[in-house]
Amino acid sequence: MVETARHDAWSAGDSCDRYMGRWRRKIAPLFLDWFDPPTGLDWLDVGCGTGALSAAIVAQCSPKSVLAIDPSEGFLQTAQAALADERIQFRLGDAQALPAKPGSVDVIASGLVLNFVPDRTKALSEMRRVGRPGALIGFYV
């Protein structure tokens, strides 16, 4: 098969959702129940994919803002089409070089992502860099 003709389920939002969507939309609210952050905060969703965790943050946590980043343009397009909320901003980016200013967010969350990141130490230090003093960082894999 020619590489350019291959369908990549990991970069096409619709097919990835059919593959994993049922349970990842169930686990995000459970994680947020456990994480239980205050309301009115600036969030960063690292590796937002098609937006399962971002949607749950908006539905459950009354955020001031959510910056949702992912390296896949296909996933970001799917998330943007599904989540029309003025508090959410989607941006192309990598966990190892977060596209956010130092000390700019209160809560950093990441769902089902860190196992895909080659340099997890760098990703965690990036989360600390962009978090304000006392920022909450939580993730699940």
Ligand X SMILES: C[S@@+](CC[C@H](N)C(=O)[O-])C[C@H]1O[C@@H](n2cnc3c(N)ncnc32)[C@H](O)[C@@H]1O
Does 49 bind ligand X (CB under 6 A)? Our answer is yes
User: Which residues have CB under 8 Å from 30's CB, separation 6+?
Assistant: none
Work out whether 17 is an interface residue with ligand X (CB under 6 A): no
Q: Give CA separation, 7 vs 14, 49, 113, in Å.
A: 12, 17, 21
Q: How far apart are CA 74 and CA 94, in angstroms?
A: 14
Q: Return the residue nearest ligand X (CB atom).
A: 49
- Which of 12, 41, 53, 107 is in the footprint of ligand X by CB under 6 A? 53
Residue 126 binding ligand X, by CB under 6 A: no
Is residue 95 near ligand X by the rule CB under 6 A? yes
CB of 103 to ligand X, least distance (A): 20
User: Cβ 76 to ligand X, closest distance in Å?
Assistant: 9
Q: Is 47 in the site for ligand X (CB under 6 A)?
A: yes
Query: In the chain, how long is the greatest CA-to-CA distance?
Result: 51
Binding-site residue total for ligand X (CB under 6 A)? 21
Burial pattern 19-39, b for ≥16 Cβ within 10 A else e, equals ebbeebbeebbebbeebebee
* Residues near ligand X, by CB under 6 A: 20, 24, 28, 46-49, 52-53, 70-72, 75, 94-96, 111-113, 116-117
